[in-house]
Amino acid sequence: MKNKILIANRGEIAVRVIRACKELGIETVAVYSEADETSLHVKLADEAICIGGARSKESYLNMNSVLSAAISTGCNAIHPGYGFLSENAQFVEMVERCNITFIGPSSKTIAAIGDKASARAIAKANGVPIVEGSDGIVENAQEGLKIAKKIGYPVMMKASSGGGGRGISIVRSDEEFLNAFERTSLEAETSFGDKSLYIEKFIESPRHIEIQIMADHKGNVVHLFERDCSMQRRNQKMIEETPSPILNELLRRKIGAAAVKLAKAINYVNAGTMEFLVDPKGNFYFIEMNTRIQVEHPITEMITGVDLVKEQIKVGYGKELSFKQHNLKINGHAIECRINAEHAMKGFIPTPGKITNILFPGGIGVRLDTHIYPGYEIPPFYDSMIAKLIVHAPTRLEAIKKMRVALEQFVVDGIHTNIEYQYLIMHNPDFIKGQYDTGFIARFNALVEAENRE
Amino acid sequence: MTIKEIQSIIKDFESSPLMTLELEMEGFKLKLSKNKTNEVVTPEKVVETPQDNKLQSTHKPVQLNPQNLIKSPLVGTFYAASTPTGKPFVEVGQTVKKGQVVCIIEAMKIMNEITSPYDGIIKEVMVKNGDVIGFNQALMRVGDANEK
């Protein structure tokens, strides 16, 4: 049977996966909602099939429709991209039962480590440091209060089935706790269909450091170094870079080794990312694992020269990794700026609409992963990210300068974007010094708004 | 019927979803219509006035237009018949009734019977046996007897 992959996603990641498939000579099937008829991934794939209405629930999250599309078109594999069904253990099990290859880990692995509360338990059992917190899900607010008192404020309560920065609250005192618990449970219920929460000590001024893992069926597990994703707004990443300005070689090896150890302990296969928090003293704590390819994977590709999506596909089809840990080296520095269709000066409200013209940046070490094109109408139903601008240069400072030029030369007419906002950050002294934490963007916004008012 | 009454009727008609209105009383006949093509006439609305004059909108039977398409509610594979060698459920030129099975869409190994939402005659079958069908894709067109 000829290899044929259905890409169960949309936007820039669907384009990314289609490209990798084409380079490998594999036929591609795109799926799209009624709102995405004119989307780029539909035009690029060998075949395309409409799977439902505009709302994600009716289309990209519709397991039956996606699976039916794969079966009808004769696909022998499905690549889930990120988000949507990529970490849905039930969907993966359905795919497995239909004898279709899922490009990712098994449904069992996803169920085990994708649940954030149980992931903490697995890490603890394997000697990987975790943030102090509840042992699993907190049954009710009273129990939570007891745990919070024991750990000591401030604490963070998080949705066990959560992701994308939602269903998270920070509580600093007993008085706030009960209210916050109710509110966050409700948010978790509506966002993820599961109100379960767990509690962790809240680490002030942390850096968000994640490790890219890649593993094959023969037990070869490697890490492809770290990504520093501390530049976040409301727990959503805006800028990522590698290597991290705060990791020395020793810490890098320690965190990398911990990530690999954990991956081996759960027999992980394919691509995945272990997320850690690093405090100002250099202590690191495992917080969760993402069992899929991530948005920011390009910066890792730039410094290592490894095409992660191609490796995913190869491993998915049973091939071994073509490299071992000692083959991997960090080469230069890479930064990614997420470009969103949003109005930065008006509270970042999403700004869907028609793109009338685009000028694309380019040159050595400039990469643009995007699905937009002149005349494209951005639908209002999905997230606002329209492009990822990535630069790669021999040093961090050169990378920053390169990003400035690339942002200057990237013109998107017809809608608002955060291009200028990212440009401002590229000139910010703290960012240039590499001294920032997950609270940076909030403080930066306050600064910008104050300037605006003057 | 006074001018004011006629104006009032026109105003009500304009803001209603009705497409045509015919009013016949002794010595008086009024016909109003909105000019929109390819619009299915909505069913009748009967309004009774205290003067015992019945205002009755005429309704034509659901106007079949060339765009009456039977669309697939599912993603899957199209089959014209219930078995691989069987006779197709319907053929071009055949009369169908609302609710009649016209084809099968196979999704996830389940054979789903697709029924016609209209009365009429099958004018066109746009797909063939074994075709991959997407959500809301047009399968067949149903027209009325008068259509060429």
**Structure confidence by residue, pLDDT tens digits, A166-208:** 788 999 999 999 999 999 998 888 877 888 999 999 988 889 9
The SS3 call for residue A202 is: coil
A34 contact residues in B (CB cutoff 8 A): 135-136
pLDDT at A352: 92
Average pLDDT over residues A229-236: 90
% residues pLDDT > 90 (chain A):
82
Is the alpha carbon torsion for A54, A57, A61, A64 positive or negative? negative
CB contact under 8 A, B75 and A59: no
The SS3 call for residue A46 is: coil
**Structure confidence by residue, pLDDT tens digits, A291-339:** 999 999 999 999 999 999 999 999 999 999 999 999 999 999 999 999 9
Is residue A218 very low, low, confident or very high in pLDDT (cuts 50, 70, 90)? very high
* Cα–Cα distance measured from residue A431 to residue A410, given in angstroms and rounded to the nearest whole number: 21
Question: Looking at residue A405, what DSSP letter applies?
Answer: H
User: Among candidates A229, A393, A434, which has minimal Cα distance to A302?
Assistant: A393
pLDDT at B35: 61
Do A422 and A385 form a contact (C-beta atoms < 8 A)? no
The chain-wide mean pLDDT, for chain A, equals 94
* A133 touches B at CB < 8 Å: no
Average pLDDT over residues A64-78: 97
pLDDT at A135: 82
A50 contact residues in B (CB cutoff 8 A): 75, 134-137
| Chain A interface disruption, residue of B129, B135, B136, B139, most A CBs within 10 A | B135
Q: Lowest mean pLDDT: which of A231-235, A243-247, A281-285?
A: A231-235
**Structure confidence by residue, pLDDT tens digits, A145-170:** 999 999 989 999 998 887 767 788 99
User: Among candidates A355, A359, A384, A350, which has minimal Cα distance to A372?
Assistant: A355
* A49 touches B at CB < 8 Å: yes
pLDDT at A59: 96
Task: Among A34, A65, A98, select the one facing B75 at the smallest CB separation.
Answer: A65
CB under 8 Å, gap of 24 or more: what pairs does A370-377 form?
A370/A12, A370/A15, A370/A339, A371/A10, A371/A11, A371/A12, A371/A14, A371/A15, A371/A39, A371/A40, A371/A41, A372/A40, A372/A412, A373/A40, A376/A38, A376/A39, A376/A40, A377/A38, A377/A352, A377/A353
pLDDT at A454: 66
Angle between the N-to-C axes of helices A297-304 and A308-316, in degrees from 0 to 180, rounded to the nearest 10: 100
CA dihedral A115, A116, A118, A120 (to 10 degrees): 150
Task: Among A50, A64, A98, select the one facing B134 at the smallest CB separation.
Answer: A50
pLDDT at B10: 81
Question: What ipTM goes with this model?
Answer: 0.74
CB neighbours of B110 closer than 8 A, spacing ≥ 6?
A: none
Task: Among B75, B106, B136, select the one facing A69 at the smallest CB separation.
Answer: B75
Active site residues of A: 292
| Chain B interface disruption, residue of A72, A73, A98, A99, most B CBs within 10 A | A72
pLDDT at B55 exceeding the cut of 50 = no
H/E segment holding residue A35: none
* A184 touches B at CB < 8 Å: no
**Structure confidence by residue, pLDDT tens digits, A325-377:** 999 999 999 999 999 999 988 888 899 999 999 999 999 999 999 999 999 99
Q: What is the pTM of this model?
A: 0.82
B134 contact residues in A (CB cutoff 8 A): 49-51, 69
Is residue A124 very low, low, confident or very high in pLDDT (cuts 50, 70, 90)? very high
User: Among candidates A34, B113, B147, which has minimal Cα distance to B139?
Assistant: B113
Q: What would the two tokens of residue B146 be?
A: 């008068």
